A and B are shown apart, each in its own frame.
Chain A
Amino acid sequence: DVKVTQSSRYLVKRTGEKVFLECVQDMDHENMFWYRQDPGLGLRLIYFSYDVKMKEKGDIPEGYSVSREKKERFSLILESASTNQTSMYLCASSSLDWSSYNEQFFGPGTRLTVL
């Protein structure tokens, strides 16, 4: 059974803290993605990665950074958390294989609250 796991389901942090959200996939996928989901705004892409040590900005990268040191792991970093980063964060992965038709597999999400 394919799987994308995220390090925490719920997380509470204080303003100014450095926050790490971890995502691991066991499907040997090349692509990995970080989204945030807010009511009325749907899912918005923060960053994605095509390969180890590669990263590309999505639609809303401000205030975030990412790290991909190993193929299976993609980390989202909030250097100095702010209250407007309170949100649901979703990680996804997909294969470069053309036959996979770019299907993305999502993790269960991390609900982050910044106080």
Chain B
Amino acid sequence: DAKTTQPNSMESNEEEPVHLPCNHSTISGTDYIHWYRQLPSQGPEYVIHGLTSNVNNRMASLAIAEDRKSSTLILHRATLRDAAVYYCILITGNQFYFGTGTSLTVIP
């Protein structure tokens, strides 16, 4: 059973905000929500994480629904370097459960 569900692909225009959705309806109370991204020909890299509250860092913002069954990664101004596959992941203990990710295309 998939622990997270994401759209296969999304497009955004450069300099515009991007909202990447993720559903995780079977999340448990102790699961953290992490987002990673994978640039072409590289391994995944950490973007942001949260448990219950919305989070901001220099790369992105994470909005978590009140019931925690969904979350949204927000890139405030997409750049060409943000073109990547974005993974929404549930963390249980030390184990990561990757979905298939969303491939983001940024249009100049």
Contacts and interface: CB of A to CB of B under 8 A. Distances in A.
A100 to B, nearest CB: 10
A77 interface: no
Contact of A102 (B32, B44, B99): B32
Report the interface size class on chain A: 20 to 34
A106 interface: yes
A48 B94 contact: yes
Contact of A42 (B46, B49, B87): B87
11 contacts: A42-B98, A42-B101, A44-B98, A45-B95, A58-B95, A90-B44, A92-B44, A102-B94, A102-B96, A104-B44, A109-B43
Interface of B: 32, 34, 36, 41-46, 49, 87, 91, 94-96, 98-101
A112 to B, nearest CB: 15
Contact of A43 (B32, B46, B98): B98
A40 B32 contact: no
A12 interface: no
B96 A104 contact: yes
